[in-house]
Amino acid sequence: MPAAPQRSNLPKLSLHVPEPKFRPGDEVDFSDVDVPAAGSASRPDSAADPAEFHQLAYTLVRVLGDDGQAVGPWDPRLDPDTLRIMLRNMALTRAFDERMFRAQRQGKTSFYMKSTGEEAVAVAAAMALAQDDMCFPSYRQQGILITRGYPLIEMMNQIYSNKGDKLQGKQLPIMYSDREKGFFSISGNLATQYPQAVGWAMASAAKGDSRIAATWCGEGSTAEGDFHSACTFAAVYRAPVILNVVNNQWAISSFSGFAGAEATTFAARAIGYGIAGLRIDGNDPLAVYAATQWAAERARTNQGPTLIEHFTYRAEGHSTSDDPSAYRSAQEATAWPLGDPVKRLKEHLIALGEWDEERHAAQDLELAEMVRKTQKEAEKNGILGHGMHQKFETMFEGVYEEMPWHLKEQMQQMLDEEAAAGRPGPKR
Amino acid sequence: MNMIQAINSAMDVMMERDSSVVVMGEDVGYFGGVFRATAGLQDKYGKERVFDTPITECGIVGVAIGMGAYGLRPVPEIQFADYIYPALDQLVSEAARLRYRSAGEFIAPLTVRSPFGGGIFGGQTHSQSPEGIFTHVSGLKTVIPATPYDAKGLLIACIEDNDPVIFFEPKRIYNGPFDGKYDSPAKNWGSHPGGEVPTGYYRIPLGKAAVVREGEALTILCYGTMVHVVANTVAEAGVDAEIIDLRTLMPLDVDTIVESVKKTGRCMIVHEATRTQGFGAELAAVVQERCFYHLEAPIERVTGFDTPYPHSLEWAYFPGPVRIGQALKKILKD
Ligand SMILES: Cc1ncc(C[n+]2csc(CCOP(=O)(O)OP(=O)(O)O)c2C)c(N)n1
């Protein structure tokens, strides 16, 4: 490369490459993370003009204070039974993650992704939506399926790609799909679900339906072009959609600065599109519930979309293929100023006199046992690597509605080769 | 009807028959499309079914996929095939795979319409023929009509199809067949039998080629504008060629091709798209595999060159009568 001409009278330019505050071995100090007091954020009418959301896009909506009490205008005032269900769903999601992570480590499947620390973002949101609202999740909202009562064994069958797997072993583990539970097929390609959710919402509106759509992506994925397209479409057509950005600070090894977080918040992106934007404490299940409920009401009354930034922390590795100790300080997760969502809801229920440590411990045991039993059941259908669980032909099915001649031909070729090699396919 | 009117009529017929059909794209609504293909539809069916979109191809296709998941049957338009690339991820990773990855739970019954091909002095970004990119993607169907009659019948079949279809419209022949003679006066569809188009519903099945001329001397495989260029060149050269208009590239009508080449013993492939890894390469492989012992000469390909589509040298680039004529001489030599 030829050297740039030097003009001595002008200052040299320099390139800013973001760098996270802490790297492995560093002492972590989050004191500069601005954590407003619970209850301090205002709660506008759900029909308010998007222009009124400047302030809410830069603060943090919080309901649960450090004393475990729910305060302020965003308190959704849930009854204790609902709170206990929420806690149970979150604890179950965590128990499921623990077990499946271990299953991957034991070589029973190829891959897993936990949502540890982010359970509220999926569970509380799913509880605030109607059962028939359509969700377009990323790979880290397994809590939605759990909240909607999707059978754990179905999830495990999928993770094991075994003969019980309804997706016929076609998808990487955790890329679930369940039409009946309003859970759209997860894609490996980041952010593609964003415009799709907007399209679903537009269709619902065009048809005079009453159902809305919600979608989730990580803060890293907001840098994809699809995010921009989706926000533009959502704003232009006032689509009844909730756009959730789960800002867990990390996109694999890249901190949120590489998605633009040094300069502004993700909720503030909404302002430029003319979308209502809320920035909330993503580890506060009541704040997640309240914001989702608010956004759902806004969508259902034809007031248009809402973008919600859930400020949270990815407490564990990105996936079973990732070792976070290679790029961030091990202290970060424990030092995170917004705590742990499960613990915070537990403390709230205890503060209300509706729960106690003994019941909590007993529930954890019960859930772990339930997951373990279900896992045993699922493993009867097989685990990955122990033979091929799907009939060979399934590989060619579903590419098109009807199998074209060239796939039939390739299928026959494969069957002949397999037969000649003496490998009988599994019976369906 | 000309091809624009036939395409418009296909959408009209389908919107009338099926309330789940929606039309969307840049300038397709009030204005009726830059080529007028959607003219009048918004007036007739309302803005909730025919609407203008922001200029974001990734958004147009992504939103259409979501609408398809809801249960609609979207017909998105990409203004020029040259501008389909921003939507590639949504087409390749999403629309094409949705049925497969969800084991049939969700489908993407889209028909992505887009004008393609050169011959209009469109330069680099209004002339491309990217069909080979899409025929390579499992889960997509690719359809290209060569007459107004076929355009309507095929488009109706595409809209009714439950798989995602890329429907490329050869814009050079929107208003009339083109014989490749760029300096002679333009023709219209009025005098061509393919211009006779019924006003009502009919469909042409996908995956079926049309033999536009029967012959014994060689088989020529082509589609879109090239069907007419080939037909005229063959007529003027007095060659008894069998001309096959593929109509659907994926899935391909292999039987019609193989039967013809076995009969003629020679095969020529003509397309506007660039040569290397163009669709012609797949056609040549198919013919070679299935007709090897019947071939009397090497398979000949007449295609666009492996360059971006040039502006001023368009008629040297275009696989027109001169280049096809030379190839005919070569393939018929012995
Ligand atoms: C289009 C695309 N590019 C890259 C990847 C690889 N990839 C998978 S997850 C990931 C990080 C995503 O981070 P973020 O959006 O913050 O979500 P999180 O994992 O934190 O939940 C990357 C880069 C991908 N799956 N898709």
Ligand 1 pocket, mutate which of A115, A226, A252 (most atoms under 8 A from CB): A252
Q: In terms of Cα–Cα distance, which of B98, B18, B13, B102 is closest to B64?
A: B98
Give CA–CA dist B4/B303, Å, rounded.
Answer: 26
Task: Give residue A51's pLDDT.
Answer: 83
Task: Give residue A425's pLDDT.
Answer: 78
pLDDT at residue A66 tops 70: yes
Give CA–CA dist A228/A237, Å, rounded.
Answer: 14
- Of all atoms in ligand 1, which is nearest to the CA of residue A222? 15
Alpha helices in chain B (DSSP H): 3-17, 41-45, 57-70, 88-89, 98-101, 131-135, 148-160, 225-237, 254-264, 279-291, 314-317, 321-331
Residue B64: closest C-alpha in chain A: A199
Burial B198-221 (b: 16+ CB within 10 A, else e): eeeeebbebbebbebbebebbbbb
Does any CB of chain A come closer than 8 Å to the CB of residue B186? Answer: no
Question: What residues 215-254 of chain B have any CB closer than 8 A to a CB of chain A?
Answer: 250-252, 254
Chain A and chain B share a number of CB contacts under 8 A equal to 146
The pair of three-digit structure tokens given for residue B113, joined into one six-digit string: 């319409």
Which helix (H) or strand (E) covers residue B22, if one does? strand B21-25
Does any CB of chain A come closer than 8 Å to the CB of residue B71? Answer: yes
Q: Do residues A308 and A267 make contact, with C-beta atoms less than 8 angstroms apart?
A: yes
pLDDT at residue A427 tops 90: no
Task: Give residue A268's pLDDT.
Answer: 97
Q: Do residues B114 and B80 make contact, with C-beta atoms less than 8 angstroms apart?
A: yes
Q: Whose CA is nearest to atom 18 of ligand 1?
A: A218
The neighbouring-strand residues paired with A218 are A246
Q: Do residues A375 and A99 make contact, with C-beta atoms less than 8 angstroms apart?
A: yes
Residue B162: closest C-alpha in chain A: A401
Q: Do residues A371 and A379 make contact, with C-beta atoms less than 8 angstroms apart?
A: no
Give CA–CA dist A305/A285, Å, rounded.
Answer: 21
Q: Percentage of chain B with pLDDT > 90?
A: 100
Q: A401: which chain B residues are within 8 Å (Cβ-Cβ)?
A: 99, 107, 161-163
Other Cβ atoms less than 10 A from the Cβ of B121: the count is 12
Classify residue A183 by its DSSP letter: B
* Distance from Cα B100 to the centre of ligand 1, integer Å: 22
Active-site annotation holder among B77, B94, B126, B271: B126
For A232-241, the pLDDT digits (tens) are 999 999 999 9
Q: Do residues A245 and A226 make contact, with C-beta atoms less than 8 angstroms apart?
A: no
Q: How many residues make up chain B in this entry?
A: 334
pLDDT at residue A428 tops 60: no
pLDDT band at A8 (very low <50, low <70, confident <90, very high): confident
CA Rg value for chain A: 23
Are B59 and A187 a contacting pair at CB < 8 A? no
- Give the residue-averaged pLDDT of A13-29: 97
Task: Give ligand 1 pocket residues (Cβ under 6 A).
Answer: A 138, 140, 188-190, 217-221, 246, 248, 250-252, 314, 318
Give CA–CA dist B42/A93, Å, rounded.
Answer: 48
Task: Give residue A5's pLDDT.
Answer: 72
Q: What DSSP line would sit under A190-201, residue for residue?
A: TTTHHHHHHHHH
Give CA–CA dist A167/B94, Å, rounded.
Answer: 16
Average model confidence (pLDDT) across chain B: 97
Nearest to A399 among B62, B65, B139 (CB): B139
- Give the residue-averaged pLDDT of B88-96: 98
pLDDT band at B292 (very low <50, low <70, confident <90, very high): very high
pTM assigned to the model: 0.97
Give CA–CA dist A254/A404, Å, rounded.
Answer: 43
**B325 Cβ contact list (under 8 Å, min separation 6):** B233, B237
Q: How many residues make up chain A in this entry?
A: 428
Q: What are phi and psi of A294, to 5 degrees?
A: -65, -50
Give CA–CA dist B38/B26, Å, rounded.
Answer: 11
Question: What residues 1-60 of chain B have any CB closer than 8 A to a CB of chain A?
Answer: 22, 48-49, 53-54, 56, 58-59
- Give the residue-averaged pLDDT of A290-319: 98
* Distance from Cα B77 to the centre of ligand 1, integer Å: 29
Average model confidence (pLDDT) across chain A: 96
Are B100 and A170 a contacting pair at CB < 8 A? yes
For tokens 């993407």, the residue is B108
Does any CB of chain A come closer than 8 Å to the CB of residue B207? Answer: yes
Instruction: Identify whether B251 is preceded by a cis peptide bond (ω within 30 of 0).
Output: yes
Q: Whose CA is nearest to atom 12 of ligand 1?
A: A251
Is the complex ipTM higher than 0.90?
yes
Give CA–CA dist B202/B223, Å, rounded.
Answer: 21
Task: Identify the residue among B70, B98, B208 best suited for mutation to test binding to A, counting A beta carbons within 10 A and taking the highest.
Answer: B70
Nearest to A177 among B61, B65, B105 (CB): B105
Q: What DSSP line would sit under A51-93, residue for residue?
A: GGGTGGGTS-B--B-TTS-B-STT-----HHHHHHHHHHHHHH
Are B66 and A136 a contacting pair at CB < 8 A? yes
Q: Percentage of chain A with pLDDT > 70?
A: 100
Q: Who wins on pLDDT, A53 or A157?
A: A157
For A356-387, the pLDDT digits (tens) are 999 999 999 999 999 999 999 999 999 998 88
- Of all atoms in ligand 1, which is nearest to the CA of residue A259? 16
**A277 Cβ contact list (under 8 Å, min separation 6):** A50, A53, A56, A57, A267, A268, A269, A270, A271, A306, A307, A308, A309
Largest CA distance in chain A: 79
Q: A405: which chain B residues are within 8 Å (Cβ-Cβ)?
A: 251, 254
Give catalytic status of residue B126 as yes or no: yes
Are B62 and A185 a contacting pair at CB < 8 A? no
Q: Percentage of chain B with pLDDT > 70?
A: 100
